[in-house]
Structure 1
């Protein structure tokens, strides 16, 4: 998308239009898995929850046959597989299957049928696939391809042990060559065989496998603290409704986290110093909120969340009101600190046409000023627009609509 169009959209689209509202949980849906699934595989979640679409897909002869074949593949793996790699491989989608299903979805799509109405009323407004700038059946196909690829990626990393983008913090928790792992992965497939219903939708065996593998790796990161607007961010969300934004040059102060180097330290020295810089500017009236960003990332399998620990430090040690601190507890990298913070700008109704102010140490500010290339490489786009650098430790940034795009190869922080 051209820069001019991005600016126009950012200014003239209301925060409500871009509000990223979660799909309501279904009765009996496990809460943790609901958040993990809907954040990672949004189209597949819509397929399940839209009853008319679900019925359309189940009644289609080709897709029904596809579903039966995937269930048969699962059953065969439980019966015949002898090594750990065999079980997950049987569940992934092949390139041919992804293409075949995509073409079938395109054929089934009509602008006024269940699929067409779902695309128009749910898929497009979600912004989850907005980077592709497609509509109608083309968007449906692309969203399917992305979700299927995301399922495959999750299985590859958290069952097969393939290296993720950031192996030091996001790798599988097991030795995939050990005898014990063969038994574990067999048990996972056997339980899936028992749980998958005969009338399952065509993608559900693979989807449920991906969720199971994340679960046994204790990787529930996308679900942490959700729904945040009624938990950790409730006080701030309530306050947002009353703020007179014209009284402030910035809507919020963004503080990126810095993970400690060991498993027993809750908050790093860098994190403390960044909070002190932000607290000073907050007291000067620069912005009504401090947004702290960072998940449970560093070191590997840490129990401490950077955002939570920074909020605790701001409130308990620096006397910042709890209602003035917004937690963004999912980002795992500097690129996603900014991306996820801007997602909350849209989600919580903060004016998107006003800048935020990033406050961090000089070395990270230097890095942020040159981070566009990394963002394009890892995310496929730049999820922010930088403004002026005001000081060694301060730089303005602006929202762009593409921030809601799902990241299909980051299952621990997809959106």
Structure 2
């Protein structure tokens, strides 16, 4: 039986979110580990759904794969001498991914546990919406292959030291060339064996390894501030239900963050100026909400969060009520400022057919106007549609449902 629902976290759907007008509500499932759920949502569903869980655990071919992963992990503890030996045992090999894909295809049948999970949870979540043209059976396989690739990517960056997309802010925390690094990887494998040694699910050893590596790197960013709907965004979410949207030309004023260039400043000058521009537009009645977007990004390993500091500045210095401000505290780039705010629009029940307005400085406005190719390259799609270019500091945008897609190569801000 599926357990632990995201409190009041909505994805708006009409039977399926794919290509439909938003109508009813769908609750996302949680394992209690937000980093896992946001990165590898299919695996969370397979953990939490008892019928699907039992189907996988009782399959002899998947059981053999599980035992092989556990045996490799145990053998690495006694046999491995270098760090890459430990991590290599925990990644999914190409032939393993293919074998599991074939087995999921064979196990899938109309009306069975996997079919119900895909149709009632996976598809309505929108988290694998880029595969919307696939059959439910094929979508299950593609979601699995995405999660497996995402796990391998996380291990590659946060255990092996591979370069992420943005090395200056997202890199591993340790020197992989130091003598003690192999010892750290050994210690991780010993700890992991104690955690998963009795598992019967084929993906658990690799999944828990990826999560452990993120944890020792202090990279639990996706979990920060969650559950936002009942904490930092609660006043604004409650106010959404009272808004008469026809009274405003825009649904929201989006303010992308700008991190400072040092570890002691909480908010950059650019961030302050963007907030002031947004406050001006709010006081003109342009929109009922200001959305501040930005994670803990600049400089590397900063303890300050762009969205939180902008909210603090808006309330304390500019006297904007807290119930007006929606925080989006996870975005690490301008592309994901846009994407993540679209996600909150969809999940919080803000009208998707009403434009928002991005308010920022001229240089970033110019960048947003030309950002579609960058989105295609980094995300695989453009998570918004631009409207009118109103001024040097203002541009309209519209939500796009593809924004709900998990990004498997951005483990610090996947969903």
TM-score (norm 2): 0.94
Q: Displacement of 1:15 after TM fit?
A: 5.6
Deviations 1:55-91 (A, max 9, x none): 0000001000000000001001111110111111110
SS in 1 for 2:66: helix
Distance 1:287 1:15 in 2: 23
Distance 1:339 1:16 in 2: 22
Structure 1: segments with no counterpart, 5+ residues: 1-8, 26-30
Structure 2: segments with no counterpart, 5+ residues: 1-16
Report the counterpart of residue 369 of structure 1 in structure 2: 369
Distance 2:157 2:403 in 1: 25
Report the counterpart of residue 111 of structure 2 in structure 1: 112
Q: Displacement of 1:185 after TM fit?
A: 1.1
Report the counterpart of residue 280 of structure 1 in structure 2: 280
Question: For this pair of structures, how many residues does the alignment match?
Answer: 398
SS in 1 for 2:327: strand
Higher relative contact order (CA 8 A, sep 6+): 1
Q: Displacement of 1:24 after TM fit?
A: 3.7
User: Is contact 1:84-1:177 (8 Å) kept?
Assistant: no
Q: Displacement of 1:180 after TM fit?
A: 2.0
Deviations 1:230-266 (A, max 9, x none): 1100000000011111111101000000011011110
User: Is contact 1:15-1:349 (8 Å) kept?
Assistant: no
Report the counterpart of residue 253 of structure 1 in structure 2: 253
User: Is contact 1:10-1:353 (8 Å) kept?
Assistant: no
Deviations 1:299-324 (A, max 9, x none): 11000000000000000000000110
Report the counterpart of residue 14 of structure 1 in structure 2: 22
User: Is contact 1:15-1:346 (8 Å) kept?
Assistant: no
User: Is contact 2:257-2:293 (8 Å) kept?
Assistant: yes
- Residues 110 and 15 (structure 1 numbering): CA distance in 2 closer, same or farther, change over 3 Å? same
Q: Displacement of 1:11 after TM fit?
A: 9.2
- Residues 278 and 10 (structure 1 numbering): CA distance in 2 closer, same or farther, change over 3 Å? farther
Report the counterpart of residue 48 of structure 1 in structure 2: 47
Report the counterpart of residue 152 of structure 1 in structure 2: 152
User: Is contact 2:353-2:398 (8 Å) kept?
Assistant: yes
User: Is contact 2:294-2:337 (8 Å) kept?
Assistant: yes
Distance 1:145 1:73 in 2: 21
Q: Displacement of 1:12 after TM fit?
A: 5.5
* Higher share of residues assigned strand: 2
User: Is contact 1:10-1:352 (8 Å) kept?
Assistant: no
User: Is contact 2:37-2:44 (8 Å) kept?
Assistant: yes
User: Is contact 2:214-2:220 (8 Å) kept?
Assistant: yes
Report the counterpart of residue 64 of structure 1 in structure 2: 63
User: Is contact 2:362-2:392 (8 Å) kept?
Assistant: yes
Q: Which runs of 4+ in 1 moved over 4 A?
A: 9-12
User: Is contact 2:18-2:126 (8 Å) kept?
Assistant: no
SS in 2 for 1:22: strand
User: Is contact 1:124-1:135 (8 Å) kept?
Assistant: no
Distance 1:400 1:111 in 2: 31
Distance 1:195 1:79 in 2: 17
- Residues 323 and 92 (structure 1 numbering): CA distance in 2 closer, same or farther, change over 3 Å? same
Distance 2:30 2:210 in 1: 21
User: Is contact 1:15-1:350 (8 Å) kept?
Assistant: no
Alignment of 1:339-354 (within 5 A): 339-354=339-354
Report the counterpart of residue 75 of structure 1 in structure 2: 74
SS in 2 for 1:85: helix
User: Is contact 1:295-1:331 (8 Å) kept?
Assistant: yes
Distance 2:35 2:18 in 1: 28
Report the counterpart of residue 387 of structure 1 in structure 2: 387
User: Is contact 1:10-1:399 (8 Å) kept?
Assistant: no
Please, what is the CA RMSD of the aligned residues? 1.2
Distance 1:75 1:338 in 2: 44
Deviations 1:329-360 (A, max 9, x none): 00000000000000000110000010000000
User: Is contact 2:221-2:412 (8 Å) kept?
Assistant: yes
